[in-house]
C-alpha cells in the first residue's frame, strides 16, 4: 500500500517558497539557510527548483530515492531534483511534450552535477533492454570524455565546465532513449596557453601525464613531469580530491564505450601531446639587415618532436613561425615575424589546435550517439552552460559568457514572468501587474545588430587601417555612451568621469546579475581569432589523420580570401539558435546557488546567496507565482481529466467544456477564490487545490477501477461458472453414459448367467429326456429282441417239437408200417424166421462193433486213458467191461517186461507211496527220482574200504547226510550207511565210523509233514547205541532213506517194522536232554533253503520254505 505523503510532511522551513509567509528577501534567505543547514538543498518556487551546492556528498541520490520519486506527483514528496526530472520525463513520455531543463547559476553552483543527476535519473526510470541500455550508457559516458577535455580547475570550481553544453536526449514513443545530440558553445580556449593563478589547464593534459603508461608517454614523446611544460601551470598541478591517473583510465574506458576506435584515441592523444610540445617552442630574435628583428626557434628539439608527432615537415613549420604571407589582390607579400608575433602565432596555433580538437570530439561523440532511426522523436534538452562570471580581470570570454547568461535570463523572464502575465491578460483574468526587471535591454546593448557591442567589435575587426583595443573602446564610448547599462570613463556620460573604480582601458556593463568590468585588451584579437594562413596551411599539409579535418581552410586549393566569421559573430549566431530551440520546448528550471566562495560544506554566506537570489530574480519569481495562479489547463483537458468527479460530467459532458468545468468545480465545492475562469483555460490558484482535485481523481479512479474490476470479475466468474456448468453437463453426461453402460453390462452379464443357467437346465432336461428316450428305445429294442428271441425260441421249440413229432410220427409210422408189413407178410414167414432175422441183425451189429473197435483201439501204454465211444446204447455194459479187460491185459503185458531189480525198485516206490503219499509235502518231488541206493559208490571208493567191510552183506543205502548239531542247529556232513542189520554214520572224508546203530535199537523215526529233509532216528531206551542219544539228520533223499529203513523191518523176521511218526513237532533225546524240534512255515525272507535255529535249550526251530 502506497503511503500518501506530501511536500508539507516534515517540512523544514517551507519547501515551496510560494508558501512563505511573510515574503521578503530576508525570510527567503532565512528559509534557504534553514533548509541548507538541515541538508535540505532543494527548495521549490512553484515548479522551479532552487538547488544549493552542499559541497559534500549527500545520501539522497540512491536507487531507493529514484524509486521513491518515480511516478510521483511533483508536490507529493519533499523537494528534489528527481521530482523535476520525473515531471519532465513523464510529461515528455505521456503528454508528448518536448522538454528542456535549464540549469543556471554561477560557476561552481552545481549546474554540471545537477545535469548529471537529471540524466542519471532519466536513465534509471526509462525503459530497459539491451539496446536501450547501450544508448543510455553511451549518453552517460559521453560526460567523462567531455569533462576531461572541456573542464578545468578554476578558483571557483575544481571541475569547472569551460564550455557551454546543451544535450538533446532523444526518446521513442515509448519513452526509451534512442540517441542524443550534443552542442557545445565557446570553449574557453585561452586557458590552453595561459591560466590565472590557482587555476589549471584542461584536465586532459594532467590526466595524460599522470595516467598514461611509460610506453604510451614514450610514443607521445612526453615526460611525466608537469614542470617540463610551459603551458601547464604549476602551482595547482595537483588538485585535492582529483586523481588524474584514475580519471585517465575512466576517460579511456568511457571513450571505448562511446565508440572511439583505438587509432582515433591515439590520434587525439597525439594532438594533446603536440599542444604541450608546441608550448615549449621558444623563439629568439635575429637581427635583419633592414633593422627589424626576425624570430628564430630557439631549441629545435621540441619543434622536431612536435612535427614528428603530427607528421609535419619541420622546415615548413619553422618558416611559418618566422614569416607571414599576406595575400591581397592576387599578390602575395611575405613579411617577417618578430619574436612577439611568433609567440602570438604559436599560442594561436595551440588554442586553435585544441579548440578544434574539442569540437571534433563533440562531433565524433554525436556520430556515436545519434539516433539510428528517422521516426519522430521526443526530445529532452539539458542545458548546462557556464554560469555568470565576475572575475577581477574580465576579458572577452567573460563578456561572451555573461552575454549568454543574459540570454538565458531573458528566456526565463520570457517564459515565466512575462509569458505568465501576458497569458492572464490574454485569458482575461483579473491581474495586478508585477514589476520585474526585464533584461532585454541589456541583451539589446550587446547583440543589437546596429549598435550592439558585438556589432561594434566586428566592425572594428573588419575595418581597414590600424585596429586596436583602444580604437574599439573609443567606438563603444561614442556609440553606447547613452545606454543606461553601459559605463565607461570616457563615455559622454559625465557620471563616470570621476569614477575611479572604472579604469580608462575598461568598460562596465550592468548585467542583470550585477556590474562587470571588462578590460578592453584582447577583445579585438580574440574576436578575430586569427590564425596565420601559413600555419593553417602547414597544419593541413601534416601527415596526420585528424589535421586535415581540423584545418580545412589550410587547403591551398580552397584559398578563401574572405575573412572567417568572428568569434563574437559565431557565438551570437549559435546562442540565437539555442534560444529558438529552447523556446519550442517546455522549460523546467533548476536555479543553482552556491552558498560560499570557499567550496566548503556547511558555510552559508548570506551576502553571497542574497546577491545570487537577487540577480536570478527569484523574488520576482515568487511574487508572480503568488499573485498568479499556480496551475492552468485548457478547459477540454481539465474536463477530460476530472470529469469523473461529478455526476453531471461523467461519463460525458455534452455542453461546452467551460460550462462543464464550472459544473464540476461547483459540484466539488471548491472555494471560488481558488480558481479563475479564463477564456480557454481554467486557472487554479493554489497547488493545494490541484492536489485536492488530483487526490479526488485518484480516489475516483480507484473506485472506477474497482467498478471495472467488479464487472470484470463478475463477468469472469460468470463465464467461468457457465463454462463449469457446461463442463459439468458434459461430465455428467459422460458419467451417466458410463454408469448406464456399466449397469447395462452388469444386467447383460446377469442375463447371460441366468440364460446360461436356464439353457443348462433346459439342455440337461433335454438330455435327460433324450437319454430316457434312448433308454426307452434301447429297452424297446431289448424287449423286442427278447421278444423276438422268445418268439424264435418258441418257434424253434415248436419246430423241434414238430420235428420230433414228425420223427416220432415217422418212427411210429415206420413201426406201424413194419407192423403192418409184418402182419401183412407174416403169413408169408415161418414161425422162427423173426428170431433168426433178429439174431442175424444182432450178429451183424456186433460184428460191425467189434470190427470198428479193432480199428479204433488205444495204445498199449498203461497210462493211456482214451477209449472209443460206444456206438449203441444197449452195448454200454459190454463196452465198459471191454475197456477194463483191455487195461488189465495191457498192464500185464507191461509188467511182464520187468527185471527182478526193476521190480524191487517199483516195490520200494510203492512202499514209499504208501508211507508218505498225501502225508508229507516232500513226497511228490521224490516220485520221479529213481531210488539208486548207493550214492557214494562205497564199493569202489578205497577210502570207504572199512565201511564196505562193515556192510558184510549188502549196502542198502549209502549217502551223504547232514548231522544236525544240537548246540547250534548247523549240519555236518556224514556218510549214512544202511545195511540189513545196522546203520552207520561215518566221516565223509575219511570214512571213519562215527556211530554204528543196530537196527534193533531203533525205536522210531520222526519226520515233519513239510517239504524238508529233517528226520530224527529215535533209539530204544537202554540200548547201547542210545548212549549218545537220538540222531537228528537231514537229507534230500529222505523219502528213499526212510522207505528203505522201513522196508528193512519187513525183510527181517526178528524185529518189528520201524515206526514212522509224521508230525511237525517231535522230541529228540540228546544225551540227557529232550529237545523239541518244531517245524514252521518259513517266511519268504528266509529264502528257499531250510534253516534250523536253536531257540533255547529245549527248542530247535526249523523254518521250511512254503512250497
Ligand atoms: N548536489 C551536490 N552534491 C554534492 N556536491 C555537489 C553537488 N552539486 C555540486 N557539488 C560540488 O560542487 C562542485 C561544483 O559543481 P559543478 O556542478 O561543477 O558546478 P558548475 O557546473 O555550476 O560550475 C562539484 O565538483 C561538487 O564537488
Ligand atoms: Mg559546470
Calpha distance 367→513 (Å, rounded): 37
Cβ of residue 107 lying under 6 Å from some atom of ligand 1: yes
Does residue 240 line the site of ligand 1, with CB under 6 A? no
- Cβ distance 623 to 670 under 8 Å? no
Express each pLDDT in 749-769 by its tens digit.
Answer: 999 999 999 989 988 898 889
> pTM of the predicted model, to two decimals?
0.61
Order across the sheet with 631-634: list the strands: 631-634, 681-684, 675-677
**Which residues does 423 contact at the CB level (< 8 Å), separation at least 6?**
632, 678
How far is the centre of ligand 1, averaged over its atoms, from the C-alpha of 969 (Å)? 149
Candidate list 51, 53, 78, 107, residue with the active-site label: 107
Ligand 1 atom 3, closest CA: 57
Ligand with an atom nearest the CA of residue 158: 1
- Smallest CA separation from ligand 1 atom 20, residue: 108
* Bond preceding residue 651 cis, omega within 30 of 0: yes
Ligand nearest to the CA of 162: 2
CA triple 1047-1050-1053, angle to 5 deg:
140
How far apart CA 1019 and CA 1030 sit, in angstroms, is: 6
User: Rounded to the nearest whole angstrom, what is the distance from the C-alpha of residue 387 to the centroid of ligand 2?
Assistant: 8
Residue 4 has pLDDT above 50, yes or no: no
* d(CA 7, ligand 2 centre) in Å: 29
- How would residue 104 be classed by pLDDT, with cut points 50, 70 and 90? confident
How far is Cα 1078 from Cα 493, in angstroms, rounded to an integer?
A: 192
Nearest Cα to Cα of residue 31 among 14, 44, 16, 45: 14
Report which of 589, 588, 585 is spatially closest to residue 98, judged by C-alpha positions.
Answer: 585
Q: Which residue has the higher pLDDT, 686 or 928?
A: 928
53 lines ligand 1 (CB under 6 A): yes
- DSSP for 491-529? SS-GGGTT-TTS-TTEEEEEETTEEEEEE-TTHHHHHHT
160 tagged catalytic: yes
Residue closest via CA to ligand 1's atom 16 equals 110
Spacing, Cα 157 to ligand 1 middle (Å)? 8
Question: What are 1031-1040's pLDDT values in tens digits?
Answer: 888 888 888 8
Ligand 1 contact, 111 CB (< 6 A): yes
Using one digit for the tens of pLDDT, what is the confidence trace for 304-337? 999 999 999 999 999 888 888 877 667 778 888 8
> Using 50, 70 and 90 to split pLDDT, how confident is the model at 1?
very low
Q: Which three cell numbers stand for residue 118?
A: 537529471
Give the whole-angstrom CA distance, residue 75 versus residue 5.
Answer: 9
Geometric angle at alpha carbon 457, from 456 and 459, rounded to 5°: 65
Ligand nearest to the CA of 117: 1
- b/e map 611-624, b = 16+ CB within 10 Å: bbbbbbbbbbbbbb
Of 408-417, 839-848, 940-949, highest mean pLDDT: 839-848
Q: Is the CB of 160 under 6 A from ligand 1?
A: yes
Q: How far is CA 991 from CA 904, 958, 959, 960, 964, in A?
A: 29, 12, 12, 11, 18
Instruction: Quickly tell me which residue has 559605463 as its cell.
Output: 487
pLDDT tens digits for range 1066-1086: 888 887 778 888 888 877 665
Please say if 1106 is a catalytic residue. Answer: no
Ligand 1 neighbourhood includes 150 CB (under 6 angstroms): no
- Verify cis geometry, omega within 30 degrees of 0, for the bond prior to 136: no
Burial of 867 (0-12, 13-18, 19+ CB in 10 A): middle
Ligand 2 centroid–CA 689 distance in Å is 38
Mean pLDDT of 958-978: 85
Average confidence (pLDDT) over 126-134 = 86
Q: Using a 6 Å cutoff on CB, does residue 908 contact ligand 1?
A: no
Predicted pLDDT at 67: 93
Q: Name the band, by pLDDT with cuts 50, 70 and 90, for residue 132.
A: confident
pLDDT tens per residue across span 50-94: 999 999 999 999 999 999 998 887 777 889 999 999 999 998 998
**Which atom of ligand 1 has the smallest separation from the CA of 160?**
23
Output 494 or 388, whichever has higher pLDDT. Answer: 388
d(CA 168, CA 180): 5
State which of 110, 148, 156 you would mutate to test the pocket of ligand 1, scoring each by most atoms of that ligand within 8 A of its C-beta.
110
Q: What integer pLDDT is reported at residue 522 of this predicted model? A: 86
Q: Is the CB of 61 under 6 A from ligand 1?
A: no
CA angle 1031, 1032, 1038 (to 5 degrees): 110
Q: Report whether pLDDT(277) > 90.
A: yes
Q: Does 348 score more than 50 pLDDT?
A: yes
Residues 928 and 1067: beta-carbon distance below 8 Å: no
pLDDT greater than 60 at residue 813: yes
Contact present, 182 and 166 (Cβ < 8 Å): yes
pLDDT of residue 824 exceeding 80, the answer is no
List the grid coordinates of 1075. 529237545
Residue 851 and residue 517: Cα distance in Å, rounded?
Answer: 207
All residues with CB under 5 Å from ion ligand 2:
111-112, 161
- What confidence tens digit (pLDDT) does each residue in 242-269 have? 899 999 999 999 999 999 999 999 999 9
387 counts as catalytic:
yes
Who wins on pLDDT, 445 or 433?
Answer: 445
Average pLDDT, the chain: 86
CB of 147 closer than 6 angstroms to any ligand 1 atom: no
The reply to whether 161 belongs to the active site is yes
Ligand nearest 105 Cα, by number? 1
**Span 951-979, mean pLDDT?**
83
Pick the catalytic residue from 51, 115, 161, 352: 161
Quick check: is 107 catalytic?
Answer: yes
The per-residue pLDDT for 333 is 81
Grade residue 952 by pLDDT with cuts at 50, 70 and 90: low
Calculate what percentage of the chain has a pLDDT beyond 70: 95
Say if ligand 1 is within 6 A of residue 381 CB. no
Q: What is the atom index within ligand 1 of the atom nearest the CA of 57?
A: 4
Give nearest CA residue, ligand 1 atom 25.
159
* Catalytic-labelled residue, pool 115, 154, 160, 1008: 160
How many Cα atoms occupy the beta-carbon half-sphere of 236 within 13 Å?
20
CA dist., res. 936 & res. 387, Å (int) = 174
d(CA 1092, CA 339): 173
Distance of CA 19 to the CA centre of its chain: 62
CB distance 572 to 454 below 8 Å: yes
Q: Is the CB of 39 under 6 A from ligand 1?
A: no
Task: Kindly report, residue by residue over 565-606, the tens digit of the pLDDT.
Answer: 888 898 899 899 999 988 888 889 999 999 998 889 999 999
Mean pLDDT of 976-997: 84
Q: What is the pLDDT of residues 11-27, one digit of tens each?
A: 788 888 887 777 889 99
Q: Which of 344-353, 443-452, 631-640 is least confident? A: 631-640
The pLDDT confidence band at residue 43, using thresholds 50, 70 and 90, is very high
Q: Kindly give the number of the ligand 1 atom that is closest to the alpha carbon of 384.
A: 21
Q: Ligand 1: which of 59, 102, 157 to mutate, most ligand atoms within 8 Å of CB?
A: 157
- pLDDT beyond 90 at 860: no
Instruction: Write down the pLDDT at residue 2.
Output: 37
> 113 alpha carbon to ligand 1 midpoint, in Å?
5
Measured in angstroms, how far is the CA atom of residue 920 from the centroid of ligand 2? 162
- Would you say the CB of residue 657 lies under 6 angstroms from ligand 1? no
pLDDT band of residue 3 (cuts 50, 70, 90) is very low
d(CA 587, CA 582): 7
pLDDT at 376: 86
Apex 721 CA angle, 720 and 723, nearest 5 = 65
Span 1037-1057, average pLDDT: 78
Quote the percentage of the chain above a pLDDT of 90.
29
Ligand 1 atom with minimal separation from the 158 CA: 25
**DSSP bridge pairs for 334:** 325
Strand pairing category for 160-161 and 506-511: unpaired
**Catalytic one of 43, 104, 112, 982:** 112
Q: How far apart are CA 524 and CA 830, in angstroms?
A: 227
Name the maximum alpha-carbon separation found in the chain: 244
> Which residue is associated with the grid cell 492552468?
632
Confidence of residue 746 (pLDDT cuts 50, 70, 90): very high
Beta strands 164-171 and 283-287: pairing type? unpaired
For residue 114, how far is its CA from the centre of ligand 2 (angstroms)? Answer: 9
Supply the pLDDT for residue 8: 56
- Nearest residue (by CA) to ligand 1, atom 24, is 110
Q: Which ligand approaches the C-alpha of residue 150 most closely?
A: 2
The SS3 call for residue 127 is: coil
Between helix 606-615 and helix 25-37 the angle, nearest 10°, is: 120
Report which bound ligand comes closest to the CA of 110: 1
Lowest mean pLDDT among 281-290, 390-399, 690-699, 871-880: 690-699
Is 110 one of the catalytic residues?
Answer: no
Cell reading at 954 = 549188502
Distance, CA of 68 to CA of 59 (rounded, Å): 13
Residue from 40, 113, 203 to probe ligand 1 pocket by mutation (most atoms less than 8 Å from CB): 113
pLDDT of residue 210 exceeding 80, the answer is yes
151 lines ligand 1 (CB under 6 A): no
Ligand 1 closest atom vs CA 107: 23
Amino acid at each position: 500500500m502506497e503511503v500518501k505523503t506530501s511536500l508539507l510532511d516534515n517540512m523544514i522551513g517551507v519547501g515551496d517558497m510560494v508558501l512563505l509567509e511573510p515574503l521578503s528577501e530576508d525570510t527567503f534567505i532565512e528559509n534557504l539557510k534553514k533548509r541548507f543547514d538541515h541538508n535540505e538543498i532543494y527548495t521549490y518556487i512553484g515548479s522551479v527548483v532552487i538547488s544549493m551546492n552542499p559541497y559534500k556528498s549527500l545520501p539522497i541520490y540512491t536507487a531507493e530515492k529514484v524509486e521513491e520519486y518515480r511516478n510521483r506527483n511533483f508536490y507529493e514528496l519533499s523537494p528534489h531534483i528527481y521530482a523535476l526530472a520525473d515531471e519532465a520525463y513523464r510529461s515528455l513520455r505521456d503528454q508528448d511534450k518536448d522538454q528542456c531543463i535549464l540549469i543556471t547559476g554561477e560557476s561552481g553552483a552545481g549546474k554540471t552535477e545537477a545535469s548529471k543527476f537529471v540524466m542519471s535519473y532519466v536513465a534509471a526510470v526509462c525503459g530497459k533492454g539491451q539496446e536501450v541500455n547501450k544508448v543510455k550508457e553511451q549518453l552517460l559516458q559521453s560526460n567523462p570524455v567531455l569533462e576531461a577535455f572541456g573542464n578545468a580547475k578554476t578558483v571557483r570550481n575544481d571541475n569547472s565546465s569551460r564550455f557551454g553544453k546543451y544535450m538533446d536526449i532523444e526518446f521513442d514513443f515509448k519513452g526509451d532513449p534512442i540517441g542524443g545530440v550534443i552542442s557545445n558553445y565557446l570553449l574557453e580556449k585561452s586557458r590552453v596557453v595561459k591560466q590565472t593563478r590557482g587555476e589549471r589547464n584542461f584536465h586532459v593534459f594532467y590526466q595524460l601525464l599522470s595516467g598514461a603508461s611509460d610506453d604510451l608517454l614514450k610514443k607521445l614523446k612526453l615526460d611525466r613531469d608537469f614542470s617540463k611544460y610551459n603551458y601547464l601551470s604549476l602551482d595547482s598541478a595537483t588538485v585535492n580530491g582529483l586523481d588524474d591517473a584514475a580519471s585517465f583510465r575512466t576517460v579511456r574506458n568511457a571513450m571505448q564505450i562511446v565508440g572511439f576506435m583505438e587509432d582515433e584515441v591515439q590520434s587525439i592523444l597525439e594532438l594533446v601531446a603536440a599542444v604541450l610540445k608546441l608550448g615549449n617552442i621558444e623563439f629568439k630574435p635575429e637581427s635583419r639587415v633592414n633593422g627589424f628583428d626576425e624570430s628564430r626557434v630557439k631549441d629545435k628539439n621540441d619543434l622536431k618532436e612536435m612535427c614528428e608527432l603530427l607528421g609535419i615537415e619541420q622546415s615548413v613549420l619553422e618558416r611559418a613561425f618566422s614569416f607571414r604571407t599576406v595575400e591581397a589582390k592576387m599578390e602575395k607579400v611575405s613579411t617577417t615575424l618578430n619574436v612577439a608575433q611568433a609567440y602570438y602565432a604559436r599560442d594561436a596555433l595551440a588554442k586553435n589546435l585544441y579548440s578544434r580538437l574539442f569540437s571534433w570530439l563533440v562531433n565524433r561523440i554525436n556520430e556515436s550517439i545519434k539516433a539510428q532511426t528517422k521516426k519522430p522523436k521526443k526530445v529532452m534538452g539539458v542545458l548546462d552552460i557556464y554560469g555568470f562570471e565576475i572575475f577581477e580581470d574580465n576579458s572577452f570570454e567573460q563578456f561572451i559568457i555573461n552575454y549568454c547568461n543574459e540570454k538565458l535570463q531573458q528566456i526565463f523572464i520570457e517564459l515565466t514572468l512575462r509569458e505568465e502575465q501576458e497569458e492572464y491578460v490574454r485569458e482575461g483574468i483579473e491581474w495586478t501587474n508585477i514589476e520585474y526587471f526585464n533584461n532585454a535591454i541589456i541583451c539589446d546593448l550587446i547583440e543589437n545588430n546596429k549598435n550592439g557591442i558585438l556589432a561594434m567589435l566586428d566592425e572594428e575587426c573588419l575595418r581597414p587601417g590600424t585596429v586596436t583595443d583602444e580604437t574599439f573602446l573609443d567606438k563603444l564610448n561614442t556609440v553606447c555612451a547613452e545606454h543606461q547599462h553601459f559605463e565607461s570613463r570616457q563615455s559622454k556620460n559625465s557620471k563616470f568621469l570621476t569614477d575611479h573604480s572604472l579604469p580608462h582601458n575598461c568598460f562596465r556593463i550592468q548585467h542583470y546579475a550585477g556590474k562587470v568590468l571588462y578590460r578592453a585588451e584582447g577583445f579585438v584579437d580574440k574576436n578575430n581569432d586569427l590564425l596565420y594562413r601559413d600555419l593553417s596551411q602547414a597544419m593541413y599539409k601534416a601527415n596526420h589523420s585528424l589535421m586535415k579535418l581540423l584545418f580545412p581552410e589550410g587547403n591551398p586549393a580552397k584559398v578563401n580570401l574572405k575573412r572567417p566569421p568572428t568569434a563574437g559573430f559565431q557565438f551570437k549566431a549559435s546562442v540565437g539558435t539555442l534560444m529558438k530551440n529552447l523556446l519550442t520546448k517546455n522549460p523546467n528550471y533548476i536555479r543553482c546557488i552556491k552558498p560560499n566562495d570557499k567550496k566548503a560544506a556547511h558555510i552559508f554566506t548570506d551576502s553571497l546567496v542574497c546577491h545570487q537570489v537577487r540577480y536570478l530574480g527569484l523574488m520576482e519569481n515568487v511574487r508572480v507565482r503568488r499573485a498568479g495562479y499556480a496551475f492552468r489547463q485548457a478547459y477540454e483537458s481539465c474536463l477530460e481529466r476530472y470529469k469523473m468527479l461529478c455526476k453531471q460530467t461523467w461519463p460525458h459532458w455534452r455542453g461546452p467544456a467551460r460550462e462543464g468545468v464550472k459544473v464540476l468545480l461547483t459540484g466539488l465545492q471548491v472555494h471560488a477564490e481558488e480558481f479563475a475562469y479564463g477564456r480557454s483555460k481554467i486557472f487554479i490558484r493554489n497547488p493545494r487545490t490541484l492536489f485536492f482535485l488530483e487526490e479526488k481523481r485518484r480516489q475516483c479512479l480507484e473506485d472506477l477501477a474497482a467498478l471495472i474490476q467488479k464487472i470484470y470479475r463478475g463477468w469472469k466468474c460468470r463465464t467461468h461458472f457457465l463454462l463449469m456448468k457446461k463442463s459439468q453437463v458434459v461430465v455428467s453426461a459422460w458419467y451417466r453414459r458410463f454408469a448406464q453402460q456399466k449397469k447395462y453390462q452388469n444386467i447383460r452379464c446377469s442375463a447371460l448367467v441366468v440364460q446360461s443357467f436356464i439353457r443348462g437346465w433346459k439342455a440337461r432336461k433335454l438330455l435327460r429326456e433324450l437319454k430316457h428316450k434312448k433308454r426307452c428305445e434301447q429297452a424297446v429294442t431289448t424287449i423286442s429282441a427278447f421278444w423276438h428271441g422268445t418268439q424264435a425260441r418258441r418257434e424253434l421249440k415248436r419246430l423241434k417239437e414238430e420235428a420230433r413229432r414228425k420223427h416220432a410220427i415217422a418212427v411210429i409210422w415206420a413201426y406201424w408200417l413194419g407192423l403192418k408189413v409184418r402182419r401183412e407178410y407174416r403169413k408169408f414167414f415161418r414161425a422162427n424166421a423173426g428170431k433168426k432175422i433178429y439174431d442175424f441183425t444182432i450178429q451183424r451189429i456186433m460184428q460191425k462193433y467189434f470190427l470198428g473197435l479193432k480199428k479204433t483201439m488205444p495204445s498199449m501204454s498203461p497210462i493211456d486213458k482214451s477209449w472209443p465211444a460206444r456206438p449203441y446204447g444197449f452195448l454200454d455194459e459190454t463196452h465198459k467191461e471191454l475197456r477194463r479187460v483191455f487195461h488189465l491185459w495191457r498192464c500185464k503185458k507191461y509188467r511182464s517186461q520187468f527185471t527182478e531189480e526193476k521190480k524191487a525198485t517199483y516195490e520200494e516206490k510203492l512202499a514209499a507211496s504208501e508211507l508218505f503219499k498225501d502225508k508229507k509235502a516232500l513226497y511228490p518231488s521224490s516220485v520221479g527220482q529213481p531210488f539208486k541206493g548207493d550214492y557214494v559208490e562205497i564199493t569202489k571208493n578205497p577210502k570207504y574200504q572199512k565201511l564196505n567191510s562193515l556192510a558184510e552183506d549188502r549196502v542198502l543205502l549209502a549217502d551223504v547226510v547232514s548231522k544236525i548239531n544240537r548246540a547250534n542247529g548247523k549240519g555236518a556232513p556224514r556218510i549214512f550207511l544202511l545195511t540189513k542189520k545196522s546203520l552207520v554214520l561215518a566221516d565223509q572224508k575219511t570214512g571213519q565210523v562215527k556211530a554204528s546203530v543196530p537196527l534193533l535199537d531203533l525205536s522210531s523215526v520222526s519226520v515233519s509233514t513239510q517239504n524238508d529233509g529233517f528226520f530224527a532216528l529215535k533209539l530204544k531206551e537202554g540200548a547201547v547205541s542210545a548212549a549218545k542219544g537220538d540222531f537228528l539228520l537231514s537229507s534230500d533223499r529222505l523219502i528213499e532213506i526212510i522207505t528203505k529203513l522201513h522196508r528193512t523191518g519187513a525183510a527181517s523176521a526178528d524185529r518189528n517194522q520201524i515206526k514212522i511218526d509224521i508230525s511237525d513237532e517231535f522230541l529228540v533225546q540228546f544225551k540227557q536232554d529232550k529237545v523239541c524240534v518244531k517245524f514252521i512255515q518259513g517266511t519268504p525272507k528266509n529264502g528257499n533253503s531250510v534253516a534250523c535255529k536253536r531257540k533255547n535249550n529245549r527248542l530247535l526251530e526249523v523254518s521250511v520254505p512254503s512250497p
